[in-house]
Structure 1
Amino acid sequence: MRLIHTSDWHLGRSFHRVGLLDAQAAFVDHLVEVVRAERVDAVLVSGDVYDRALPAPETVALLSEAVTRLIDAGAQVVLSSGNHDSAIRLGFAAELLERAGLHIRTGLSSIGRPVMVGDVAVHPLPYLEPSVAADRLGAGERTHAAVLGAAMERVRADLAGRGGRSVVMAHAFVTGGATSESERDISVGGVSAVHPSTFDGVDYVALGHLHGRQQVDDGQRYSGSPVPLSFSEVNHTKGSWLVELDPAGVEVSAVEAPVHKPLAVLRGTLEELLADPRHAGAEKAWCQVTLTDSVRPLGAMDRLRERFPDTLVLQFDPQGVRELPTPYAAAVRQRDDLDLCCDFLAHVRGGNPPTEAERTLLGSAVEGSRRDRARHDDEGQTDARDARSGAA
């Protein structure tokens, strides 16, 4: 049985205001060819199919085209929701689509019910927001580890009476994984890290959320995003995993994706960068440039784009002079939502930071916003199921 493990498509994402839809469409073309050439039985997409809860029409059209072509090429397609997806929107018409070979799992009620690919039981676990999922799954704590542990109890209960090979799809931060700048933090509201032992007892764990392709433990891998989503991924090799399961064991091999547009991170003085022949490869790349001139050159971006036309980010780090204050955009880049709210409150009050009580109140508001969105999606699915049951 052959599976392709991929994740974090983030359809509709922009790269420093440059749309990625063409690059994502090229990846779909590649994936269809791999399915045909390798006779793949199923394509697994472990969350963050879309980049936002309300995807644009052209983004939805690309996903529709992708799943249709993959199924026509001979593979079933299994999608699970990630923290960027709206569970109820992604899960629309899931029961009907399953008849055509498209299996979409976004709700708690589907946990423990596998997608059978031949004799391999594939258990897709949607992203589980602890504050919403903990009570319904009977988890002891409101943490990612606890809710995934409770979900895995349902998975193991199914596997105990089934036998055969098994695969779990999960969207989470598993201990040992290397992060990049483009992932959205999922730690607010509970401990985010999940130990690899949480998934003990299955043959392969197809992970999503981290954007670098990597192995974190025996049989547990992240496929990473198929296209770069930040300049921190300049050294990533993008692609997916080809997973072959047979009675003898599990064999995993890397499948590299086509490079739609390379990335380049350049650093030096303006004159050095414009003259150095070693940077010839960057002339056709998306570039992030840091200038080290002691005095900021006039017209720096225009001059850079004469040689590097796709320069998207220009930063300054003057050398040989006193350190300048960090630009606001750079200062907030690594700040979480709560810190940004506190910074804003301090700014409008003339520099007076929030008290501990005010910080606690802001933290509750930030967490409440996340929780309400997750609960809305899950309740929407529950209402839809109840309506169908009543109609029957």
Structure 2
Amino acid sequence: MKFIHSADWQLGKPFGRFDPDIRAALSEARFDAIDAMGRAAAEHGAAHVVVAGDVFDTEGPEDRTIVQALSRMERHACRWWLLPGNHDFARNGGLWDRVRARAGSRIVVLTEPEPVEMEEGVWLLPAPLTYRHHLDDPTHQFDSMETPGARLRIGLAHGSIRDFGSRGETNNQIAADRARRSGLDYLALGDWHGVLRVDDRTWYAGTPEADRFQRDDPGSVLLVDVAEGAGPLVTPIRTGRFQWLMRDWTVNDVAAFDADCAALLGDIDAPNTLLQLLLAGITDLTDRVAILGKAEHDLCHRLRFLDLRADDLVGRPDDDDLAALAAEGTPGIAAEKLSALIRAGGPDALIARRALERLLIEYSREEQI
């Protein structure tokens, strides 16, 4: 049997740090990922898509978010199995009743910890979350779930098998050997936003559309091919549109920065890339101004989004910089005083360096007018 394993769609995520046009693009990409999953299921002969929690970003999404999600799923011939996670946990009269009221026959909401026969002899064992945080292992009931005539037992859960530290939930802890304990042929997990193999029968699918600066990989799902008495064959399939990259460059002049930019742009799909860029190094003040100008007025416009962090890129004014300012009277006097503060060190040196840099930038602008 083949099926698609996915999780952590988090539809309706606000992306509040971004401008409206970027927010709209990121939100739409999450819906587009549903279509990518449906196409992948058809292409690979998978009749089912199991979603291991956090279909929605909150337990109270807007009606449009629900309708858009369901309409995307209903365009495809596969069956969709939806599990409540910690973001969209199940409660009476809540989100999942709204979903059921609108869902077609190919969409199954799993709000009860009861096994369901997906196909003859293929049982799905769900562990829906009814609160955001569970102190007990949400999969402990798998041990006692009866699945008569089962040839395959597939677990579906949302939680942490290991402590992911600051980048993952520490609640809803799941036993690391749950698949073995409960006689599962495969345990489909959600919560961790990257593809992660725990053991040969236990996998995190990650999110189908990346949503944070955490890893270079774009969003994906897992194609799972499992047979009775054999370990599953698991294959990641890309579904995501956007890549969220983190880069840390040490540059000492404009040429080094240009070379790094050229290499990056040669490797990525720039309009669909969000980049968090950390710059460090010591360079002439003129070069620092030029580097920041290129980043803010060229690289920024090529990418979907640029988060530039350049506090560790230190600019040193050279004699030519100071001489140019000195010839301008008052700016020159200010530049000399700031240079003296920088040379003296102490608590005001960093502020003085920033002020001198700003003075040079404004002077350069006036020269270009």
TM-score by length of 1: 0.65
2:274 aligned residue = 286
Q: Where in structure 2 are there 5+ consecutive unaligned residues?
A: 316-344, 348-369
- Residue identity matched to 1:4: I
- Residue identity matched to 1:6: S
Give the stretch that moved more between structures: 220-229 or 270-279: 270-279
Decide whether the 8 Å contact of 1:241 with 1:252 is kept in 2: no
Decide whether the 8 Å contact of 1:76 with 1:101 is kept in 2: yes
2:125 pairs with 1:123: yes
Decide whether the 8 Å contact of 2:189 with 2:204 is kept in 1: yes
Following TM superposition, the consecutive aligned residue runs of length 4 or more in structure 1 with deviations greater than 4 angstroms are 93-99, 177-180, 293-302, 319-324
Q: Aligned partners of 1:66 and 1:253: how far apart in 2?
A: 25
Give, in angstroms, the shift of residue 114 of structure 1: 1.9
SS of 2:151 mapped into structure 1: coil
Decide whether the 8 Å contact of 2:282 with 2:314 is kept in 1: yes
2:304 pairs with 1:313: no
Give, in angstroms, the shift of residue 24 of structure 1: 1.7
Which of residues 61, 83, 91 in structure 1 aligns to 2:96?
Answer: 91
Q: Aligned partners of 2:209 and 2:282: how far apart in 1?
A: 35
CA gap of 1:237–1:250, structure 2 versus 1, over 3 A, is farther
1:9 aligned residue = 9
SS of 2:4 mapped into structure 1: strand
CA deviation map 1:148-185 (0-9, x unaligned): 32x224xx3323x443211110001012x76784x4x3
CA deviation map 1:330-375 (0-9, x unaligned): xxxxxxxxxxxxxxxxxxxxxxxxxxxxxxxxxxxxxxxxxxxxxx
CA deviation map 1:33-83 (0-9, x unaligned): 11222222211011010112222344223211222123xx2x221000111
Which of residues 148, 154, 158 in structure 2 aligns to 1:171?
Answer: 158
Q: Aligned partners of 1:262 and 1:9: how far apart in 2?
A: 16
Give, in angstroms, the shift of residue 202 of structure 1: 1.1
Give, in angstroms, the shift of residue 305 of structure 1: 3.4
Decide whether the 8 Å contact of 2:3 with 2:47 is kept in 1: yes
Decide whether the 8 Å contact of 2:218 with 2:242 is kept in 1: no
CA gap of 1:258–1:95, structure 2 versus 1, over 3 A, is closer
CA deviation map 1:84-143 (0-9, x unaligned): 11424331166667871321123xxx2123243332011121125487x6xxxxxxxxx2
Structure of larger gyration radius: 2
SS of 2:214 mapped into structure 1: helix
SS of 1:122 mapped into structure 2: strand
Q: Aligned partners of 1:41 and 1:323: how far apart in 2?
A: 68
Aligned counterparts, 1:93-108, within 5 A: 100-106=105-111
Give the stretch that moved more between structures: 52-61 or 213-222: 52-61
Decide whether the 8 Å contact of 1:144 with 1:193 is kept in 2: yes
1:217 aligned residue = 199
Give, in angstroms, the shift of residue 211 of structure 1: 0.6
Q: Aligned partners of 2:346 and 2:116: how far apart in 1?
A: 57
| Percent pairwise identity | 21
Give, in angstroms, the shift of residue 253 of structure 1: 2.8
Aligned counterparts, 1:1-392, within 5 A: 1-15=1-15, 16-17=17-18, 18-19=22-23, 20-70=26-76, 73=77, 75-88=78-91, 89-92=94-97, 100-106=105-111, 110-127=112-129, 129=131, 143-145=135-137, 147-149=138-140, 151-153=141-143, 156-159=144-147, 161-175=148-162, 181=167, 183=168, 185-187=169-171, 192-199=172-179, 200=181, 201-234=183-216, 236=217, 238-266=219-247, 267-269=249-251, 271=254, 272-276=256-260, 277-281=262-266, 283-284=270-271, 285-294=273-282, 303-308=294-299, 309=301, 310=303, 311-318=305-312
Q: Aligned partners of 1:323 and 1:291: how far apart in 2?
A: 24
- Residue identity matched to 2:308: L
Q: Aligned partners of 2:186 and 2:126: how far apart in 1?
A: 12
SS of 2:108 mapped into structure 1: strand
Decide whether the 8 Å contact of 1:129 with 1:144 is kept in 2: no
Q: Aligned partners of 1:34 and 1:323: how far apart in 2?
A: 61
SS of 1:249 mapped into structure 2: coil
Higher relative contact order (CA 8 A, sep 6+): 1
- Residue identity matched to 1:33: R
Q: Aligned partners of 1:280 and 1:130: how far apart in 2?
A: 41
Q: Aligned partners of 1:165 and 1:114: how far apart in 2?
A: 12
Q: Aligned partners of 2:33 and 2:100: how far apart in 1?
A: 27
CA gap of 1:49–1:299, structure 2 versus 1, over 3 A, is farther
Q: Aligned partners of 1:293 and 1:178: how far apart in 2?
A: 32
Give, in angstroms, the shift of residue 298 of structure 1: 5.7
Give, in angstroms, the shift of residue 323 of structure 1: 12
Corresponding residue pairs, total: 295
SS of 1:23 mapped into structure 2: helix
